[in-house]
Copies of this chain bind each other. A is one copy, B any other.
Amino acid sequence: MKKLRLFTPGPAMVPEDVLLAMADPIDHHRTGQFRALFKEVSELLQYLFQTKHACLTITGSGTCAAEAAIVSCLPKGHKALICEAGKFGQRWGKICDAFEIPNEKYSLDWGHGFKADGVAKMLDEHSDIDTVIMTHSETSTAAVSDVEAIARLTRERDVLFIVDGITAVGAIPVKMDEWGIDVLITGSQKAMMLPPGLGFVAVNDRAWARIDSGTARAFYGNLKAYRKSFASDDTPYTPANVMVKGARVALQRIRDEGIENVWSRIASIARATREGAGAIGFKTFATDPVDSVTALVVPEGVDEPTLRKMMRSKHGMQIAGGQDHIKGKVIRIGHMGYLDRFDAIAAISALELTLHEMGHQFELGAGVAAAQRVFAEG
Instruction: Answer yes or no: A204 CB below 8 A from chain B CBs.
Output: no
A373 to B243, CA, bound (A): 41
B26-A241 in contact (CB<8A): no
Minimum Cβ distance to chain B for residue A244 (Å): 10
A197 to B312, CA, bound (A): 29
Provide the main secondary structure of the chain A interface.
loop
A238-B26 in contact (CB<8A): no
Among B23, B60, B222, which residue has its beta carbon within 8 angstroms of that of A20? B23
A67-B28 in contact (CB<8A): no
Chain A 14-43 against B: per-residue CB contact (8 Å), 1 yes, 0 no? 100001101111111111000000000000
Instruction: Answer yes or no: A330 CB below 8 A from chain B CBs.
Output: no
Which residues of B are found within 8 Å of A320, using beta-carbon distances? 28, 30
A26-B31 in contact (CB<8A): no
Pick the interface stretch among A155-163, A212-220, A288-296, A364-372.
Answer: A212-220
Also in contact, A240 and B196, with CB within 8 A (given A6-B28, A27-B6, A28-B6): yes
Also in contact, A98 and B28, with CB within 8 A (given A23-B23, A62-B238): no
Chain A residues near B (Cβ < 8 Å):
4, 6, 8, 10-14, 19-20, 22-31, 59-64, 67, 91, 94-95, 98-99, 187, 189, 195-197, 215-222, 237-243, 312, 318, 320
A31 to B319, CA, bound (A): 10
B31-A11 in contact (CB<8A): no
Among B13, B26, B195, which residue has its beta carbon within 8 angstroms of that of A14? B26
B23-A11 in contact (CB<8A): no
Which 8 pairs between the two chains have the least Cβ-Cβ distance?
Answer: A197-B240, A98-B219, A19-B23, A23-B23, A60-B60, A61-B237, A195-B242, A95-B219
A22 to B21, CA, bound (A): 11
A11 to B240, CA, bound (A): 10
A196 to B219, CA, bound (A): 19
Which residues of B are found within 8 Å of A62, using beta-carbon distances? 237-238
Which residues of B are found within 8 Å of A91, using beta-carbon distances? 219
Residue with the highest number of chain B CB atoms closer than 10 Å, among A62, A197, A222: A197
Minimum Cβ distance to chain B for residue A308 (Å): 11
A4 to B187, CA, bound (A): 31
B4-A29 in contact (CB<8A): no
